[in-house]
Structure 1
Amino acid sequence: MSFAASGAGKFRDPWAIRRCLDSKGTNMAQIARKIGVSPNLVHATVKGVRNNRRVLTALLEVGCSPKILSLPEDMKEKR
């Protein structure tokens, strides 16, 4: 199993996402608790290894830019 980022997530900028979360006074663990998923899932999504829609939606709601999230095509259409 490869843990390299692929698909839409390979262009995701994890450091920019962390800066965004810091500027909003939150972090990945708080996002995980808020939406009821594991912190590992949030971390993998932020790194671009996963494309979990619940995590990406929560990051959008917090105020992270769609540009730094490198959203999958099906999520871009809704924006």
Structure 2
Amino acid sequence: MNAVANPFASVGAGRDRNPWPIKEWMDFHGIRQADIAIKAGIKGHSVVSRTIHGGANNKKVLGALRDLGCPENILSLPEEMKTEQTS
């Protein structure tokens, strides 16, 4: 992944999160922010939006995206959430 800092994001892993591949993946699979909020067990989808855009690093939202099948390489996960890649 080309690590270009997101000027609208906070610090940490979310800083490098590019929202457009995530949004494209969601559109392709017919997944809405509300669906992610339900899967994550949170009430509002503003946290989902902020996490997708890198302004937040909500682990429940990132976990829900990963569980729904979103590729980890486009999520810019925090180190503690990355799964070990086996060859």
1:69 and 2:37 matched: no
The equivalent of 2:52 in structure 1 is: 46
TM-score (normalizing by structure 2): 0.77
Identity of aligned residues (%): 46
> Larger relative CO (CA 8 A, sep 6+): 1 or 2?
1
User: Using the alignment, how far apart are the partners of 2:39 and 2:9 within structure 1?
Assistant: 27
Higher percent of residues as helix: 1
Larger radius of gyration between Structure 1 and Structure 2: 2
The equivalent of 2:62 in structure 1 is: 56
Which 5+ residue runs of structure 1 have no aligned equivalent? Answer: none
Counterpart of 1:25 (choices 15, 24, 30) is 30
> What SS is found at the alignment partner of 1:10?
helix
> What SS is found at the alignment partner of 1:19?
helix
User: Using the alignment, how far apart are the partners of 2:65 and 2:39 within structure 1?
Assistant: 11
Query: Structure 2 vs 1, CA of residues 41 and 30 (structure 1 numbering), >3 Å: closer, same or farther?
Result: same
Deviations 1:24-59 (A, max 9, x none): 111112211333311011011101111111100100
Moved over 4 A (4+): none
> Which residue identity is paired with 1:41?
V
Displacement of 1:61 in angstroms is 1.2
Which 5+ residue runs of structure 2 have no aligned equivalent? Answer: 1-7
Displacement of 1:68 in angstroms is 0.8
Cα root mean square deviation, aligned: 1.5
